[in-house]
């Protein structure tokens, strides 16, 4: 353990071999490493789009390829079928790599404990999680996409990198006639709802998997390493980078094997985890996502309005949101976006400290 109960083993990772990954490609690096150790018997379980673009957890042999797992799907995944398929595999000693949200990893572990299935051949990876959009909203949203683009959507990406791992991913749709639509406005709206926390499941606002990263239920945690260039100069100019935290000896073993295997830019970064600026950049590892104002009104409209009307109403940017965007856009253009976030974090902490001091002084008088 490091300072404040933080795990010592934390890494920045960039896997250039996988241009379809949303972040730095940590997940395929872990799967490839396990495959080198265990061979073709490895079974991988993660979130995929099904034929109707709903998101569900599926199991595949490593040899059948990792491509369907690639990319963040910003929708709550169906896990029931995967949870039925995993226990018999583990009972036979098959090596299973499971990736999902921390609550999904915790639920799988509870299920295995309840069924008394040994988890010796299970390696779990959870994602740093800001919250997940509700799947009923996504289902209605898919209807709207089909109305706009017809039934012939072939590919859908929330963070498409167009084959360039150094590019920041943007929403993208490919239609049957091979026509690609860069940044379709509907998917941009979906991402805006996600970042504004409006589309998230209510339970995500009181998520128990925040705070001490060492208390997470998995062997390894992966996420986006926001602000990495501020900490590790060798990761400047390489595009999105993964943050990997290891919580168990099994996780440590995987990371040691990745370090030995080469071909991946990897650097230990545990010393940064307690720093304020690291916490400001990567706050979803530590802090709960707040329920946004008008969250209840958003969902009331979803329940009561025809979806097209609901979408029109909530896709519009309010005047306040437009005004808030201006300093952010200026800071981004000047390369100061991250600095702005750190300043905001420090200011908030200072104000909270002053309030706490005033309250304590009043209580002791």
Ligand X SMILES: Cc1cc2nc3c(=O)[nH]c(=O)nc-3n(C[C@H](O)[C@H](O)[C@H](O)COP(=O)(O)OP(=O)(O)OC[C@H]3O[C@@H](n4cnc5c(N)ncnc54)[C@H](O)[C@@H]3O)c2cc1C
Tell me which residues touch ligand SF4 (CB under 6 A).
101-103, 129, 131-132, 201, 203-204, 207, 209
Q: Kindly state the helix (H) or strand (E) to which residue 144 belongs, with its residue range.
A: helix 135-149
Work out how close the CB of 78 gets to ligand SF4 at its nearest, in angstroms, rounded to a whole number: 13
- Beta-bridge mates of residue 60: 44
CB nearer to ligand SF4: give 32 or 197.
197
> Given candidates 242, 269, 273, 342, which one binds ligand X under the rule CB under 6 A?
242
Query: Mind giving me the DSSP string for 4-40?
Result: GG--S-EEEEE-TT-TT-SSSSHHHHHHHHHHHHHGG
Contact 71, 49 (CB under 8 A): no
* Residue 184 contact partner, candidates ligand X, ligand SF4, none, CB within 5 to 8 A by sort of partner: none
Give the strand order in the sheet containing 10-14: 55-61, 43-49, 96-100, 122-127, 220-224, 242-246, 10-14, 265-268
Which one of ligand X, ligand SF4, none is in contact with 32 (Cβ closer than 5 to 8 A by kind)? none
**Could you give the CA distance from residue 165 to residue 26 in angstroms, rounded to a whole number?**
12
CB of 339 to ligand X, least distance (A): 19
Question: How crowded is residue 313: how many other Cβ atoms within 10 Å of its Cβ?
Answer: 11
Q: What binding mask, one character per residue, do residues 35-54 give for ligand X by CB under 6 A, x or -?
A: -----------xx-------
Q: Does 128 bind ligand X (CB under 6 A)?
A: yes
Q: Can you read off the two tokens belonging to residue 257? A: 């094997």
Q: Which one of residues 12, 55, 95, 103 is an interface residue with ligand X (CB under 6 A)?
A: 55
Binding segment toward ligand X, per CB under 6 A, in 66-74, 115-123, 134-142, 339-347: 66-74
Q: For residue 127, state whether it binds ligand X (rule: CB under 6 A).
A: yes
Distance CA 80, CA 91 (A): 18
Q: Which is nearer to ligand SF4, 212 or 267 (CB)?
A: 212
31 contact, one of ligand X, ligand SF4, none, CB 5-8 Å limit per kind = none
Q: Measured from the CB atom, is 108 or 127 closer to ligand X?
A: 127
CB of 212 to ligand SF4, least distance (A): 15
Q: Tell me how far, at minimum, the Cβ of 139 lies from ligand SF4, in Å.
A: 17
Residues 153-212 that bind ligand X (CB under 6 A): none
Phi then psi for residue 184, to 5 deg, are -55, 135
Among 34, 75, 108, 269, binds ligand X (CB under 6 A): 75
Cα separations in angstroms, 105 against 97, 111, 238, 251, 252:
11, 10, 30, 15, 18
281 binds, options ligand X, ligand SF4, none, Cβ within 5 to 8 A by partner type: none
Mask for 246-285, x = binds ligand X (CB under 6 A): --------------------------------------x-
Spatial distance between the Cα atoms of 222 and 247, rounded to a whole number of angstroms? 11
- Residue 171 binding target from ligand X, ligand SF4, none, CB below 5 to 8 Å by type: none
Task: Name the 3-class secondary structure at 115.
Answer: helix
Which residues, in sequence order, are bridge partners of residue 245?
A: 10, 221
Task: Say which residues have a Cβ less than 8 Å from residue 61's Cβ, sequence separation at least 6.
Answer: 40, 42, 43, 44
Number of residues located near ligand X, criterion CB under 6 A: 32
Residue 87 contacts ligand X per CB under 6 A: no
Enumerate binding residues for ligand X (CB under 6 A): 21-28, 46-47, 55, 69-75, 77, 99-101, 127-130, 132, 222-224, 242, 284
């Amino acid at each position: 353990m490091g300072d404040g109960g933080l795990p010592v083993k934390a890494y920045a990772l960039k896997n250039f071999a996988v241009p379809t990954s949303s972040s730095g490609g940590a997940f395929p690096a872990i799967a490839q490493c396990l495959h080198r150790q265990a061979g073709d018997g490895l079974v991988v379980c993660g979130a995929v789009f099904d034929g109707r673009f709903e998101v569900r957890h599926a199991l595949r042999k490593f040899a059948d390829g990792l491509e369907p797992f690639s990319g963040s799907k910003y929708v709550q995944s169906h896990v029931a079928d995967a949870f039925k398929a995993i226990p018999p595999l583990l009972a036979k000693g098959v090596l299973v790599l499971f990736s999902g949200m921390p609550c999904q990893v915790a639920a799988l572990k509870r299920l295995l404990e309840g069924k008394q299935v040994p988890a010796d051949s299970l390696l779990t990876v959870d994602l740093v999680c800001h919250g997940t959009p509700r799947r009923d909203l996504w289902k209605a949203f898919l209807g709207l996409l089909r109305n706009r683009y017809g039934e012939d959507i072939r590919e859908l990406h929330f963070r498409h990198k167009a084959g360039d791992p150094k590019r920041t991913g943007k929403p993208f749709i490919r239609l049957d006639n091979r026509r690609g639509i860069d940044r379709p406005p509907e998917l941009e709206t979906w991402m805006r709802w996600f970042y504004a926390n409006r589309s998230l499941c209510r339970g995500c606002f009181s998520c128990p998997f925040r705070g001490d990263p060492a208390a997470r239920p998995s062997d390894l945690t992966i996420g986006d390493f926001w602000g990495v260039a501020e900490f590790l100069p060798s990761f400047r100019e390489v595009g999105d980078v993964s943050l990997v935290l290891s919580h168990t000896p099994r996780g440590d073993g995987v990371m040691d094997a990745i370090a030995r295997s080469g071909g991946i830019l990897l650097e230990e970064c545990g010393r940064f985890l307690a720093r304020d600026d690291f916490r400001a950049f990567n706050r979803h590892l530590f802090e709960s996502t707040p329920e946004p104002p008008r969250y209840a009104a958003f969902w009331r409209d979803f329940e009561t309005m025809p979806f097209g009307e609901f979408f029109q109403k909530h896709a519009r940017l309010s005047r306040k949101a437009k005004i808030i965007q201006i300093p952010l856009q200026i800071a981004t253009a000047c390369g100061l976006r991250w600095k702005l976030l750190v300043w905001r974090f420090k200011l908030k902490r200072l104000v909270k400290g002053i309030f706490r001091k005033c309250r304590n002084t009043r209580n002791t008088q």
